[in-house]
Amino acid sequence: MHKLSRLSSSSILRNGGSRYRGVASSISSSTSQVDSTGVSNSNQSTSRWYSSITTGRSNSSHSTPKFNLRNGFYLSNRYESTSAAASDATDSPPAEKFEYQAEVSRLMDLIVHSLYSNKEVFLRELISNASDALDKLRFLSVTDPGLMKESAELDIRVQTDKDNGIITITDSGIGMTREEIVDCLGTIAQSGTAKFLKALKDSKDSGSDNNLIGQFGVGFYSAFLVADRVVVSTKSPKSEKQYVWEGEANASSYTIREETDPEKLIPRGTRLTLYLKRDDKGFAHPERVQKLVKNYSQFVSFPIYTWQEKGYTKEVEVDEDPAEVKKEGDDSQIEKKKKTKTVVERYWDWELTNETKPLWLRNPKEVTTEEYNDFYKQTFNEYLEPLASSHFTTEGEVEFRSVLYVPAISPTGKDDITNPKTKNIRLYVKRVFISDDFDGELFPRYLSFVKGVVDSNDLPLNVSREILQESRIVRIMRKRLVRKAFDMILGIAMSENPEDYEKFWDNFGKNIKLGCIEDRENHKRLAPLLRFFSSQADEVMISLDEYVENMKPEQKDIYYIASDSLTSAQSAPFLEKLKEKEYEVLFLVDPIDEVAIQNLKSYKEKNFVDISKEDLDLGDKDEEKEKQVKQEFGVTCDWIKKRLGDKVASVQISNRLSSSPCVLVSGKFGWSANMERLMKAQSLGDTSSLDYMRGRRVLEINADHAIIKNLSVACKSSPDDQEAQRAIDLLYNTALISSGFTPENPAELGGKIYEMMGMALSGKWSPAIEAEVIEQSNMVNGSEAAIKAEVLVEAGTGQK
């Protein structure tokens, strides 16, 4: 962790060169006091820079901080609130002019409009270049310690001038010679880092880990996203001279000159000055620069300082009112305290911006649970601890590090299941933040609730959405991340505290069910995570493993029924025979449950069977008995089918009923009653498919029920009797409701029920009241029914 000591809280100027990622191994971004960095001195032989705060303070409210190199020390004063101003050298030798090695106008347009989709990444790119310069210097100094003689400190400094729209980035890296400037900055898309890495690979000492960032040679030119003019002042420890490169946006040439202004000489490194465009001067605000550094470069391995306005409080004396002094003159002998007030005095100073080290680069054995939880809360602005975390490193074909978390609760809106563009995964490339805006590239939609960071060394730093979509590396990363996410969730399910998984299921159960629909490849990982109520566990949800374990020896399938509520599922007539056999039935009461189970099809070689569909096999068929029943009730079935017509596909003897007279089941490949209800509720559903999918309905009758036996007698003795015909209609409509379907004409059904009630209650208690009830029923059901009711009442009265 890089921290400033109390004695070094004032300005410290460190310079260096870095190969701009995407430009060259020897370009670096550099921060200076906006071209007021230091004064050259003959006595410049010390091997370390120091900074101290002098006791004086400038009286000018608009003074610019200046640094003087005396006896090898950089001295600075603490200044009142102000911003640094840029100044150009007045006396300098004529600059040489060079042509770019590419068609700049077209390439610049490509960089600005195609390669980078967000302007603010320019700071990320330039800081990454500075980090590369520092990395290169650190590596080369192992074999050549003389490169570090000017300073052992390695850091990056970013300073802004919001009044003039200037950003200055300074590093104390390797810097560049004149030849390296021409070679690297003069050839667009030439990467010095790529050359350096190739040289390391070809050398005998390539076993060390050199995690340099840029390899594509365009990172430096991202400066032109926001700047009209860019000035690079660089000093290599291999050269005695300091050179200045200057270029403008859309220009076909650039200039290189020797730096002769003593105020702008730096011992080592690179200073990059951006003169922002009119529309982009907002980037020069100190607060915005600090926010960008924290967002994109928080985990760069070198300290990054930003020039910030600060303040401290102090007590100052207040002049007393003359009137009060005269009034209290008689009490002069009494000693009085002087009146003071607290004021805030402003000044500018360096502030360390990237204090946090990457947690994912540490050994998981050395990281505590508290550290994981703190990192989660700080990174994702959460206040609750996560349910689980996973810290892992993947090596081999693709290398990346990651820390993943399962949140304790779902977002307030609970729309992540339909909106895959969450900001839950932060992608880093070599510790540099790239993006958190993904559309299913790293995680599928149903796992969008998983949060974490992913740091890859194989992806390019200037990665785009198209690269992510087409990259083979990303596809491999996605598979491994998904696998680790399932391991986390399974760990919660198998934990000793069952409440943790109950909490997870309440918040993210729908996501797991959605995965059963969308991700066939991971069905074996998703199925054990599912939880359902059942006919034997209606208060506690069970897993499919528990269901299979509780299955009867003769049971072959996993039975389920889909309904709109737990109460309706418990009272469904389809359960009657299964309860007698003590077969457990899963209750699917969530709208997505039925589709999820249908996509799974089976679990541990056990097929899922909907007990509301036709051809239900309970494994207890008695062919001889079935043959006798069909012979006895075959004519009755045909008679009922003739009356119902196209309302049902057929009428059959049921093997699933014990107490109900009949039930209406769906076709084997059609919609169930629950699915039909859901499809009707779809605001954008296709109504033309409703008739096709719900067309086949089968009425199953219970041959052992008294109502069916009476109807069988009526079929044989009086098949054309109107009362028997109406009884069939009422039987069908009642079965329609009890089976979960919606009657086509509820008012007509209500009238038939009232009519049957009138007939059943006729003469039961009081003939007069009964006649009134029947009369009201007659008004509903028509004149013909009224005449029959009167006859029935008179006949009943006569019998009495």
**CA-CA distance, 726 to 732, in Å (whole number)?**
10
At 690, the amino acid letter reads L
**CA-CA distance, 686 to 712, in Å (whole number)?**
41
**CA-CA distance, 786 to 780, in Å (whole number)?**
9
For tokens 């340099």, name the residue: 212
**Please, what's the largest Cα pairwise distance for the chain?**
137
For 345, how many CA atoms within 13 A lie in the half-sphere containing its CB?
14
* Contacts with 740 (C-beta within 8 Å, 6 or more apart), sequence order: 563, 564, 568, 572, 612, 672, 673, 674, 677
Q: What does the H/E/C string look like for 127-181?
A: HHHHHHHHHHHHHHHHHCHHHHCCCCCCCEEEEEECCCCEEEEEECCCCCCHHHH
Residues annotated as binding site? Answer: 125, 129, 171, 176, 191-192, 215-220, 270, 465
**Burial of 19 per CB tally in 10 Å (0-12, 13-18, 19+):** buried
Among residues 531, 509, 513, which one has the least CA distance to residue 522?
513
Strand boundaries in 436-507, DSSP class E: 451-456
Among residues 183, 231, 215, 155, which one has the least CA distance to residue 21?
215
**Burial of 99 per CB tally in 10 Å (0-12, 13-18, 19+):** exposed
Pairing of strands 253-258, 156-161: unpaired
Among residues 392, 354, 355, 353, which one has the least CA distance to residue 372?
392
At 771, the amino acid letter reads A
Pairing of strands 166-171, 253-258: unpaired
DSSP string, 33-65: SSS--B---S----S---EEEEEEE-S-TT---
Structure tokens at 40: 């050259």
**Alpha carbon 671 to its chain's center:** 34
Continuous segment of H or E residues that includes residue 304: strand 304-317
Among residues 195, 206, 255, 211, which one has the least CA distance to residue 230?
255
Residues annotated as binding site for ATP? Answer: 125, 129, 171, 176, 191-192, 215-220, 270, 465
**Length reported for the chain:** 800
* Contacts with 274 (C-beta within 8 Å, 6 or more apart), sequence order: 166, 167, 168, 169, 223, 226, 227, 229, 230
Pairing of strands 96-99, 73-78: unpaired
* Contacts with 256 (C-beta within 8 Å, 6 or more apart), sequence order: 95, 96, 98, 178, 181, 182, 243, 244, 245, 246
Structure tokens at 368: 């505590």
Calculate ∠ Cα 82-88-90, nearest 5°: 130
